[in-house]
Structure 1
Amino acid sequence: MSASIKTPPVKRRPPVWPAILLIVLAAIAILAVVWHVDTEPRTDDAYVYADTIGVSPEVGGKIVTLAVHDNQAVKQGDLLFEIDPRPYRYALARAQAALAQLNAQILLTQRSVTAQTFNAAAARSAVVRAQAAAMQAADTLARTEPLIGNGYVSADELERARTAQRSAQAELEAAQSRERGAQAAVSGVDALVAQRAVLNAEIDTARLNLEYATVRAPFDGRVVELRTSVGQYVSAQKPVFTLIDTRHWYVVANFRENELRAIRPGTRATVYLMSNTGIRFSGSVDSVGFGVDPQDGGRAATGLPNIQRSINWVHVAQRFPVKIQIDRPDPDLFRIGTSAVAVLRVERDINRDDQALRSEGTS
């Protein structure tokens, strides 16, 4: 019985097309990711921001009314706090009383202005007459002195001429002195009127300080960092608390420097907050940062944003802040410092933008 011979099975090569398809799909995915990153730059290195001011009184004093509490929302014109107004009210009353007293003094003084004016005019006329008499006496003396040698006049006549000249000169000086006194009496009224302008300025200052004793909200906002109470003495120009400007909310997103060429003011953006990732907010780029702290160990860059690089031992792209203004922020969700994610919708072609920039540089 002959044994049957079994032929070994032929090993089939695995098909090549799945690997090729996988490579093609991977390349397409990489291209899609690159295109998506170029057309829609995205970053989770972002946070919520709003402008703030330190609420400082213009005058010092004790707080007698504190109308807000910490983290309270306020409207423009709402009362924030009031400083004891009594010292400024008294200062205004004193300035007004001083003005009333000065006005009465001016009124009494003006009654004698007419007489003083007449006295000044009479004194001026006396000066003119004295000048004429002095000139005449001087001429007589000048004519008499040459005649004494020829015997045409006597020594007594010459002495009388000299005496008349000295008397006329003395009368002229006396008349000039009276004229100066009369003019000074008239100018005294002008000095009182000038004092009235000073008192009016003091009244305006006192009235303004009295208004400053009441501090109101300059815009819609939210009170934070309130650490004071009624009875606390506050100094002028020293912040009492911070007021967040809730009229405009921003998201500051730090993008890599190689992504900035496609970002312009007005570029549309979509933002969501890490506190509630289910809500999307739209906005637009307000501005693109033009300076950050280089962090290279060299000269310190004072006043520039300090953005930490993620890897210190590898040369990575620097990040620059892009300020995005939110169109319709939710006042219950937006808080300064809240983490956010920003996605920009770049509508322009990058190559076309580069050509436009080069053409602007050569023009």
Structure 2
Amino acid sequence: MNDNARASRKSRLPALAIVLIAVVLVGVVLWRTDRSPSTDDAYVYADTINVVPEVSGRIVELPVRDNQLVKQGDLLLRIDPRPYQAALDQARARLDALNRQIALTQRTVNAQQYNAESVQAAVERARAVANQAADTLRRTEPLLAQGYTSAEEVDRARTAQRSAQADLNAAMLQSQQAQAAVSGVDALVAQRAEVQAQIAIAQLNLEFTEVRAPFDGRVASLRTTVGQFASALKPVFTLIDTRHWYVVANFRETELKNIQPGTPASLYLMSDTGQRFSGVVDSIGYGVLPDDAGLVLEGLPRVQRSINWVHVSQRFPVKIEVRDPNPALFRIGTSAVATLERGPSR
């Protein structure tokens, strides 16, 4: 009986060992998962822009091809510049003609001002004569009562005073007329400012006929060629910003508590799993659209009458910046595997 019990215990030892090893392995896996969460629900991402001309016209030069790598400042396309050059030349010609007109008008204005000054001098002379005639009349009139002068002399003094006053009034009217006749060049100067603004716009439009790369990137989705009419503000192709590459990894919400910007990561691409890339968490998504979201009808949410016995954890995108990416391997949308490591950024 003892032998049977001993044999039974010995037969259970391997099973207990297997169970113990399995528990340890499960614990290690759980610890490793909590310590270094990993996901293959990830893809490569990079910022992109739509290359759009800011002026309309026919494409006369397209020195790039689809998927080509370009450098910052490289010419991407050129719109026919002739209409915009003609508009610039026309605006400059208008400015030249306006400047000549301003110069001629200024000469006329100067002549009018000289005439007004001359008439004003005549007014001063007439005023002096009128003052003198008035003084003579004031001195002569008292002498008539004393018999020192004749009535005829007094009449001549009165006539001279009235004549001098009439000449003064006429001179003042001429002065007012001369002053009113003095024009100016203010309106023409205002027109010159408008033409100068038109020249600036024409120069800017001429510059816009050349579209250059704002950064190092790669051409994508190029589906046109020389001769195509390009409309302003309509995309011609896409330019991928190859200066910065990211991996967007979707982690379960239960794994986000210890993830923060600066967390280091190990990255692998499905296209070449033999190469490991390092990265660092750039940011964590703060919003996704839940699959079972209720519809809002008439101001109230409509929730379906269903119960999910197994609740699946929501996934949130974690944006990881790649350090030292391989330009030959990184493409937008490439599948990737991301493993995060606890601790500060390296």
Task: State TM-score, norm by structure 2.
Answer: 0.76
Describe how 1:79-158 pairs up with structure 2 within 5 A.
79-119=75-115
Alpha-carbon offset, residue 13 of structure 1: 1.4
* Aligned with 1:324 (options 317, 320, 325): 320
Structure 1 pair 65–26 and aligned structure 2 pair: CA distance change class (3 A): same
Alpha-carbon offset, residue 250 of structure 1: 0.5
Alpha-carbon offset, residue 201 of structure 1: 1.3
Alpha-carbon offset, residue 81 of structure 1: 1.2
**Equivalent in the alignment of 2:289:** 293
Spell out, residue by residue over 1:192-233, the C-alpha distance to the aligned partner (whole angstroms, 9 max, x if none): 122222111111111111111111111111111111111110
Q: What secondary structure, in the 3-state scheme, does the structure 1 residue paired with 2:331 have?
A: coil
Structure 1 pair 10–294 and aligned structure 2 pair: CA distance change class (3 A): closer
Query: Which blocks of at least 5 consecutive residues in structure 2 are unaligned?
Result: 131-167, 297-307
Give the distance between the partners of 1:290 and 1:124, measured in 2 at CA: 82
Query: What amino acid does structure 2 have at the position aligned with 1:295?
Result: D
Query: What amino acid does structure 2 have at the position aligned with 1:253?
Result: A
Q: What secondary structure, in the 3-state scheme, does the structure 2 residue paired with 1:13 have?
A: helix
* Aligned with 2:216 (options 209, 217, 220): 220
**Equivalent in the alignment of 1:42:** 38
* Aligned with 1:76 (options 58, 72, 77): 72
Give the superposed CA RMSD.
Answer: 3.4
Structure 1 pair 115–286 and aligned structure 2 pair: CA distance change class (3 A): same
* Aligned with 2:14 (options 3, 13, 18): 18
Query: What amino acid does structure 2 have at the position aligned with 1:228?
Result: T
Query: Which blocks of at least 5 consecutive residues in structure 1 are unaligned?
Result: 1-6, 134-167, 301-311, 349-363
Alpha-carbon offset, residue 80 of structure 1: 1.1
Alpha-carbon offset, residue 170 of structure 1: 11
1:245 aligned to 2:229?
no
Q: What secondary structure, in the 3-state scheme, does the structure 1 residue paired with 2:257 have?
A: helix
Alpha-carbon offset, residue 317 of structure 1: 1.1
Give the distance between the partners of 1:53 and 1:322, measured in 2 at CA: 22
Structure 1 pair 298–111 and aligned structure 2 pair: CA distance change class (3 A): same
Give the distance between the partners of 1:338 and 1:127, measured in 2 at CA: 94
**Equivalent in the alignment of 1:136:** none
Spell out, residue by residue over 1:257-305, the C-alpha distance to the aligned partner (whole angstroms, 9 max, x if none): 11111111111111000111110000101111111112323258xxxxx
Describe how 1:190-229 pairs up with structure 2 within 5 A.
190-229=186-225
Spell out, residue by residue over 1:34-58, the C-alpha distance to the aligned partner (whole angstroms, 9 max, x if none): 1111111101100000001110001
**Equivalent in the alignment of 1:236:** 232
**Equivalent in the alignment of 2:145:** none
Query: What amino acid does structure 2 have at the position aligned with 1:281?
Result: F
Q: What secondary structure, in the 3-state scheme, does the structure 2 residue paired with 1:262 have?
A: coil
* Aligned with 2:25 (options 19, 24, 29): 29
Give the distance between the partners of 1:181 and 1:321, measured in 2 at CA: 78
Give the distance between the partners of 2:25 and 2:99, measured in 1 at CA: 90
Spell out, residue by residue over 1:46-101, the C-alpha distance to the aligned partner (whole angstroms, 9 max, x if none): 00000011100010000111111111111111111111111011111101111111
- Count residues in correspondence: 301
Give the distance between the partners of 1:17 and 1:258, measured in 2 at CA: 37
Query: What amino acid does structure 2 have at the position aligned with 1:20?
Result: L
Does the CA contact (< 8 Å) of 1:39 and 1:347 recur in 2?
Answer: no
Give the distance between the partners of 1:21 and 1:170, measured in 2 at CA: 133
Give the distance between the partners of 2:123 and 2:201, measured in 1 at CA: 47
**Equivalent in the alignment of 1:277:** 273
Structure 1 pair 328–129 and aligned structure 2 pair: CA distance change class (3 A): farther
Give the distance between the partners of 1:67 and 1:181, measured in 2 at CA: 62
Alpha-carbon offset, residue 247 of structure 1: 0.7
Give the distance between the partners of 1:255 and 1:180, measured in 2 at CA: 84
Give the distance between the partners of 1:320 and 1:129, measured in 2 at CA: 96
Report % sequence identity.
59
Structure 1 pair 313–83 and aligned structure 2 pair: CA distance change class (3 A): farther
Alpha-carbon offset, residue 23 of structure 1: 2.8
Alpha-carbon offset, residue 19 of structure 1: 3.3
Task: State TM-score, norm by structure 1.
Answer: 0.73
Give the distance between the partners of 2:290 and 2:174, measured in 1 at CA: 84
Q: What secondary structure, in the 3-state scheme, does the structure 2 residue paired with 1:325 have?
A: strand
